Amino acid sequence: MALGFRLLILALIVGWVMTPQARAEGQEFENSVAMFNKGKIQDALKIWKKLAEVRHPDAMYRIGYLSHLGYGRFYPQSYEEAAVWYQKAADQGHALSQNSLALLYETGRGVGQDYVLAYMWFSLAARQGVKGASQSCDQIATKLVPPKLALAKKLVADWVVVEVKPPAN
């Protein structure tokens, strides 16, 4: 069976088993992105924070991204806060968060510089097709001595998505 067809079947199955709450959260997130794009930053941020409380990885990534870059008077730059939000979403397998967290580990911004963890997160992001992640991973590999590279590869091989349970109501 062709890969494209298998992915289509998987997408249909996921759509059928998605809970009404998950669909509503997805719609709310999409609405918040539209708000952000129209300049309603504070409104979008309120929704992202609410969704982040129920562990919505896209919302966590957006908050991390705003923290990483800073957004004028709406959101101050904080690499430390960005790392926290990226980590939460990356643990759930969010590819862009994995890549962004890797960048922070590579540069030591908001976290201690750690090429082993940078390699791990770039590698995981590359597996999901994040543009440039594979090349970044290869560059990091040149900075690691063989035992550290072996450790980084083991972390990648052993990594599993953190099972996230929604908070009890």
CA distance 148 to 150: 5
CA distance 162 to 5: 28
pLDDT at 29: 83
Residue extents of the structural domains in the chain: 26-158
Check residues 1 and 157 and name the one with the higher pLDDT.
157
pLDDT at 167: 47
**Residue 125, Cβ density class (10 Å: 0-12 exposed, 13-18 middle, ≥19 buried):** buried
pLDDT at 89: 95
CA distance 40 to 34: 9
Q: What are phi and psi of 19, to 5 degrees?
A: -70, 155
The percentage of the chain sitting over the pLDDT mark of 70, rounded to a whole number, equals 80
The arrangement of secondary structure in 26-158, i.e. its CATH architecture, is: Alpha Horseshoe (1.25)
pLDDT at 41: 86
Q: How confident is the model at residue 42 (pLDDT cuts 50, 70, 90)?
A: confident
pLDDT at 23: 67
State the average pLDDT over residues 43-50.
89
**pLDDT one-digit tens code per residue, 71-128:** 877 788 999 999 999 999 999 999 999 999 999 999 999 999 999 999 999 999 999 9
pLDDT greater than 80 at residue 62? yes
